Amino acid sequence: MRLRDICLAALVVVVPLLGGNGRGYVRLSAIKANNVEIALAGDTLRVAMPRSAWQDPAREPLSDRNYMALVPVRFSDGTIEVDAKGSLAPGAPNFARGFVGIAFHIADGKFEKIYLRPTNGNAADPVRRARAVQYAAFPDFRFDRLRREAPGRYETAADIAPDRWVHMRITVHGSEARLYLDHSEVPVLVVSDLKLGAGRTGGVGLWVESGTIAEFRNLRITRSRRR
């Protein structure tokens, strides 16, 4: 299904930078596919990688990459909220985890992201369960480097599962980001040293990786007022 050139308040809401009573809405036609396939079903945006782009660990080490739907919003500090669901695609490889997340500060070929591995949330293996949520920064601080250099610091466990909607709320202030799940007031992940530094401004993306069908709805972006 093609993205309709209409404005759906249920999908994307942007609270203006300078306050006021109004809200800004992003047209769905303005959301651009970056190496992914996107489709709209009701108020839900579906994002998936073409099968030809799935990673093959026999040919290359598994790593984070630049696959997402780009939301044309400039974001520095503030809050990004979305309902997200990650499901395994038919024929997904064994390493697939239902990868789904939010990228931010996208600019000049770099971005930061916090994402979920839903199949890890209820895995029998305790090591996998401890890796249900991940922070990474592309291209220099991918998950494998962060895991190697600071084990457990940028990933954690979470009560998530594939094929299940989860509410993600990411707050960014300076060099710190926090992730809250399912409207909890307690963050499941706190990153106090964002690798791209404080004060960076860039776009927002709906991120996905190999073997995943990701769905997003009710995206709300609140930008902090500059002082």
Which pLDDT value is given to residue 4? 33
Cα(142)–Cα(155) distance, integer angstroms: 12
DSSP 145: H
Ramachandran quadrant class, 133 (left: phi over 0; alpha: psi -120 to 50; beta: rest): beta
Q: Decide if 84 contacts 215 (C-beta within 8 A).
A: yes
CA 162 to chain centroid: 15
Which pLDDT value is given to residue 7? 34
H runs (alpha helix) in 135-213 = 143-149
Question: Is a pLDDT exceeding 90 seen at residue 2?
Answer: no
Q: Which fold has domain 12-53+61-223?
A: Jelly Rolls (2.60.120)
The percent of residues in the chain predicted with pLDDT above 70, rounded, is 86
Question: Is a pLDDT exceeding 50 seen at residue 94?
Answer: yes
* pLDDT band, residue 140 (cuts 50/70/90): very high
127-142 in b/e form (b: 16+ CB < 10 A) is ebbbbbbbbbbbeebb
The percent of residues in the chain predicted with pLDDT above 90, rounded, is 75
Q: Is 71 strand, coil or helix? A: strand
Which pLDDT value is given to residue 14? 58
Bridge-partner residues for 137, per DSSP?
112, 141
Which pLDDT value is given to residue 169? 97
Which pLDDT value is given to residue 6? 28
* pLDDT band, residue 81 (cuts 50/70/90): very high
Which pLDDT value is given to residue 40? 86
Q: What is the pLDDT of residues 187-224, one digit of tens each?
A: 999 999 999 999 999 999 999 999 999 999 989 898 88
* pLDDT band, residue 21 (cuts 50/70/90): very low
Question: Is a pLDDT exceeding 50 seen at residue 5?
Answer: no
Question: Is a pLDDT exceeding 50 seen at residue 17?
Answer: no
What are the residue boundaries of the structural domains of the chain, listed by start? 12-53+61-223
* pLDDT band, residue 63 (cuts 50/70/90): confident
Which pLDDT value is given to residue 13? 56
Q: What is the mean pLDDT of the chain?
A: 88
Cα(130)–Cα(217) distance, integer angstroms: 27
Cα(59)–Cα(79) distance, integer angstroms: 38
